[in-house]
Amino acid sequence: MDSLIDELQGAKGVDAQRDIMDRIQKQWSEDVPALVFVPTPEFRAWRDNVHGVDDSVNSMVLLDKAWVTQG
């Protein structure tokens, strides 16, 4: 995958980029096969003193800017 991304970054022209993106998609499908069966409901609960948490996909949360107040 890394070599495909490197190749994409150096590609000249839209046709070459599309060809490489097609190869990236094929590699992704081979390496990380997935199938969505149904939507997944998500619920994230935080206490009132937790701030700065960013939610992402699939119940993933980003805590790099999170902080907690005392009290």
pLDDT in tens, 2-37: 999 999 999 999 999 999 999 999 999 999 887 777
CA–CA gap between residue 52 and residue 43 (Å, rounded): 17
Cβ-based neighbours of 52, under 8 Å, separated by 6 or more: 65, 66, 67
Q: Pick the more confident residue, 21 or 39.
A: 21
pTM of the model: 0.49
Cβ-based neighbours of 68, under 8 Å, separated by 6 or more: 49, 50, 51
